[in-house]
């Protein structure tokens, strides 16, 4: 999956809500199933986590069954 074709709709660093929307899941599901993993790369802005589309895509592809 290429991030170039969809990056125009999102900023480079995604909030929790934007990340869950990008993945097509509810923010509560994002918090429960994805966010707790240490393998998910994140960037801290103060006390708030931000995610890149690339890190989300890599995480999902790595954990696909």
> pLDDT (tens digit, 9 = 90+) per residue, 6-63?
667 899 999 999 999 999 999 999 999 999 999 999 999 999 999 999 999 999 999 9
Residues 26, 20: contact at Cβ < 8 Å? yes
Q: Give, in order, the Cα–Cα distances in Å from 52 to each of 41, 57, 58, 65.
A: 8, 9, 10, 22
Q: What is the pTM of this model?
A: 0.83
- Which among 41, 39, 36, 63 is positioned nearest to 53, based on CA atoms? 41
> Looking at per-residue confidence, does 5 or 65 come out higher?
65
Residues 44, 50: contact at Cβ < 8 Å? yes
Is residue 11 left, alpha or beta, with left meaning phi > 0 and alpha meaning psi from -120 to 50? beta
């Amino acid at each position: 999956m290429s991030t170039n074709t969809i990056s125009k709709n999102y900023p480079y660093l995604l909030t929790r809500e934007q990340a869950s929307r990008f993945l097509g899941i509810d923010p509560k599901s994002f918090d429960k199933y994805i966010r707790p993993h240490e393998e998910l790369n994140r960037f801290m802005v103060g006390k708030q986590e931000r995610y890149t589309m690339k890190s989300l895509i890599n995480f999902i592809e790595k954990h696909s069954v």
